[in-house]
Amino acid sequence: MASERDVRARLQRAGQEHLLRFWAELAPEPRAALLAELAPLEPEALREHCRRAAEACARPPGPPPGLAARLRPLPPERLGSASRSDPKTRRRWEEEGFRQIALNKVAVLLLAGGQGTRLGVTYPKGMYRVGLPSRKTLYQLQAERIRRVEQLAGERHGTRCTVPWYVMTSEFTLGPTAEFFREHNFFHLDPANVVMFEQRLLPAVTFDGKVILERKDKVAMAPDGNGGLYCALEDHKILEDMERRGVEFVHVYCVDNILVRLADPVFIGFCVLRGADCGAKVVEKAYPEEPVGVVCQVDGVPQVVEYSEISPETAQLRAPDGGLLYNAGNICNHFFTRGFLQAVAREFEPLLKPHVAVKKVPYVDEEGNLVKPLKPNGIKMEKFVFDVFQFAENFVAFEVLREEEFSPLKNADSAGRDSPCTARRALLAQHYRWALRAGARFLDAHGAWLPELPCSPPNGDPPAICEISPLVSYSGEGLEAYLQGREFQSPLILDEDQARELQPQEP
């Protein structure tokens, strides 16, 4: 272990010697813990990190000067659509996706470094239950979608196949996530095919460029954003693991989208047949000021421009068909070839520019008292996973329907948007639509038919509560065998056991 003298000298070179100001007060064990935390921080890198944080924070908010003139929407040849394509083309994409899955060439990678702080919980967001009748968590829903897509691909191609699940955690989520998976028997996935790894942490910094102490013996650290993926892939030799397994295509997604389709064969097939090395699912923006990044081109290069960087005038611009000109909303749902990820991790990652997140960071004052600030006092520097689009040789975007594939869980119910309530309703409304399409009818408590409303009322539940296990149907397929011509009272929970009971008997 590095000595106190060595660490102090390194901190002085970085201009951060204040981090040892309580040294004389610390017992041997806290001293050792602090040295262990400070020793890996390279002086030059730490100095640069703090300088860039303070410099970025000092920039005026709002759109960068001249950005509007450099923006262009994605050209049509870079775009595909799940809903606007003819059925034959869509089936061709899907078949190619299933073929690649059956060949064991597809993996999924979950970005799960965040905690559920804004939901009012201290555990990882993937462990959250939104209030479904089945009481399933986000992690369980995702695991079951992997199992179902493996089953579908295997049945189509007469083989057994595996979609490895890579889970990027942080120091704060790795332990609880690993324990949760063990407690639930990895949701009946083979543990050898669930690979958890940790992203790096970076020090939080004051507005004048000083690293924050959250305790006398501990630096305030934060995950380096979902763009920390590329360093983490190298740190933990994940790309080598993928190569050993024969993985060529990786579907990367965020933990908080309750409707996410893992290893979506339509998306995978579209990207593979287009020869893409990098792809992004997008949804049409709901309204000009919607707080989502826009997938577009800047100086002819594909990029996600954050909503805060687009002026209101630019956001309001209309295309010839009357829709928004910049309407491709980013949903953090991406396709990468393994070769592209290798190029980014080993060549392009140092070129990624960190983004500033201004946060309330607990700290100790000069007297050593813990202070929980009431307003933002610190800077956390993050990289974004989508900032690598600029390095792609063949980038494509794939538009999907919001009501089928995007309902994020970010806020408590009190926020009224992107909450447990809206996520639950989105999933139940989707399953209700699937049931109607499969020929089911629903009855009220008195036995009368409920109206077949294809859309739920705004901010309301569907007419009947219907939850369909991902183990029964991945995207609405195959439900006619269980539901066609049948009547059900709400709630209907169609799990594997119920499906077996409803399965028509062979004569």
Token pair belonging to 140: 């369980």
- Count of Cβ atoms closer than 10 Å to residue 434 Cβ: 20
R_g of the chain, CA atoms, integer Å: 25
* DSSP string of 390-405, one letter each residue: GG-SSEEEEE--HHHH
Provide the CATH number for the domain formed by 67-412 in this structure. Answer: 3.90.550.10
Q: Do domains 67-412 and 420-502 have the same CATH topology?
A: no
Contacts of 445 (CB under 8 A, 6+ apart): 489
Decide: 276 and 394 in contact? Cβ < 8 Å: yes
* DSSP string of 66-108, one letter each residue: THHHHEEPPPGGGEEETTTS-HHHHHHHHHHHHHHHHTT-EEE
The rounded Cα 388 to chain-centroid distance in angstroms is: 15
Rounded-to-integer distance, Cα 353 and Cα 332, Å: 18
**Cis before 491? omega within 30:** yes
Rounded-to-integer distance, Cα 117 and Cα 106, Å: 32
Alpha helices in 275-366 (DSSP H): 312-315, 338-343
Local structure of residue 132 (DSSP, 8 states): -
H or E segment to which residue 301 belongs = strand 301-305
Rounded-to-integer distance, Cα 14 and Cα 47, Å: 5
**pLDDT digit string (tens) for the chain, length 507 residues:** 688 999 999 999 999 999 999 999 999 999 999 999 999 999 999 999 999 888 888 877 777 788 889 999 999 999 999 999 999 999 999 999 999 999 999 999 999 988 888 888 989 999 999 999 999 999 999 999 999 999 999 999 999 999 999 999 998 899 999 999 999 999 999 999 999 999 999 999 999 999 999 999 999 998 999 999 999 999 999 999 999 999 999 999 999 999 999 999 999 999 999 999 999 999 999 999 998 999 999 999 999 999 888 989 999 999 999 999 999 999 999 999 999 999 999 999 999 988 888 989 999 999 999 999 999 999 999 999 999 999 999 999 999 999 999 999 999 998 888 999 999 999 999 999 999 999 999 998 888 888 777 665 666 788 899 999 999 999 999 999 999 999 999 899 999 999 888 887 655
- The CATH T-level fold of domain 420-502 is Seminal Fluid Protein  PDC-109 (Domain B) (2.10.10)
Q: Which residues of 166-190 are buried (b: 16+ CB within 10 A; e: fewer)?
A: bbbbbebbbebbeebbeeeebbebe
| Residue extents of the structural domains in the chain | 67-412, 420-502
Nearest to 226 by CA among 354, 59, 389: 354
